[in-house]
Amino acid sequence: MSSSVLFDAPGPKARLRNRIYTVVGSLAVLGLIVFSVFRLHDKGQLEPEVWDIFNNAGVRNNIRDGLLSTLKVFALAGVLSLLLGLLLSVGRLSDHRAIRWFATGFIELFRAVPLLITIYALWVLILTYQNDLGVIGENAAFWALVIGLTVYNGCVQAEVFRAGVNAVPRGQVEAGYALGLRKSQVMITLQMPQAIRAMLPTVISQLVVTLKDTSLGYIITYDELLFAARTMANNIIVNGENPITPVVIVVGAIYIVMCLALSSLATWIERRGRRAKTGIKVAAAAEPAEAPQVLDKPVSPAVPPTADSVAVAEDAASTEEATSSTEETTSSDGTADGAATADGGATEPPEDTPPPDLKK
């Protein structure tokens, strides 16, 4: 029986109760689906002519244009939010108090304000100064949506990056400072690469939120996918009614497919990161080098002494002792004839001197 840190392993009665709850819940969901299908059939929303509107080229073109507008806003807002998140995270981790306070206040402010209010306020502001803003003023809805998504999601991404930087082991940072690196170098070369890699699944999950938040553009009449679907559902009449349900189902399926694709990308990147080989590659051990020879000539191996070699060594030792004793005797009597003096010259033999007169 396996156990978990969060809860104890269920016993026999608990497992039986869980199976009953699973069956009852599944039947309830299935019943709700069946009830919804019957209600749609009664309202005429499942008639073939209702769903035949998607064979119209104009309807498909509207859906395509709305999808491209959504992806364009998402691509621009996603990139800008990542750049803003990196900038704000570095500012919040700065040692300068003014920069740190400004980044913290900016993040807390725009995270607290609802995104819809931010987008609407930017739209009104851009429309008010439309003539002064030039190109941005002509595309007020587009830039209001892009800037609003960038500011809000950039603040969220900043907190994600800051959490990743703080998760880097402190020993690596101290080692970088010990090598003489500045804080900016430690941040760029050590902390940020590891933080981005560790928080990449969370970053992509927030990008999924950015993609879904593009649907708020219909409030400011931006022609994105949801606004295009709403326009089509209100302008098309089939059997005396607007085909709202089929349009919502199709557009909702498109949103689900896009979000699942991004979620799958996050899962794939996370698995690839776990399989990646990291660290410093250790070089293979080299062959041991020969020890340097002390003598120029090779030393012959030791041979065990024999009886003849012992006798020869004894004779040499006795001869050496005799020679040394003779030299000692000569040195005690005086220098021998023709012997070398201390200064290297030869000594002359002593002259014949008469014996001393003993009578005197």
In 3D space, the residue among 189, 195, 188 whose CA is nearest the CA of residue 167 turns out to be: 195
How confident is the model over 123-164, as pLDDT tens digits?
Answer: 999 888 877 777 777 788 899 999 999 999 999 999 998 888
Q: List, in order, residues 6 or more apart from 347 with CB less than 8 Å away.
A: 335, 337, 338, 339, 341
Bigger pLDDT: 353 or 9? Answer: 9
Residue 313: per-residue pLDDT? 62
Average pLDDT for 231-260: 86
Give the global pTM: 0.66
Q: Specify the pLDDT at position 352.
A: 52
Q: Which tens digit of pLDDT belongs to each residue from 308-338?
A: 555 656 666 666 666 665 555 555 444 444 4
Which residues, 6 or more positions from 191, have their beta carbon under 8 angstroms from its beta carbon?
A: 165, 168, 173
Q: What is the DSSP letter of 190?
A: I
Beta-bridged to residue 241, according to DSSP, are 238
**Torsion over CA: 125, 77, 142, 258 (sign):** negative
Average the pLDDT over 299-312 and give the result.
56
Of residues 240 and 102, more confidence is placed in 102
Q: Which residues pair with 340 in a beta bridge?
A: 346
Q: CB of 283 within 8 A of CB of 90?
A: no
Write down the pLDDT at residue 346. Answer: 47
Could you read off the pLDDT of 264-300 as tens digits, one per residue? 887 787 777 666 555 445 556 556 555 555 445 555 5
Please report the pLDDT score of residue 337 as a whole number: 45
pLDDT of residue 344: 46
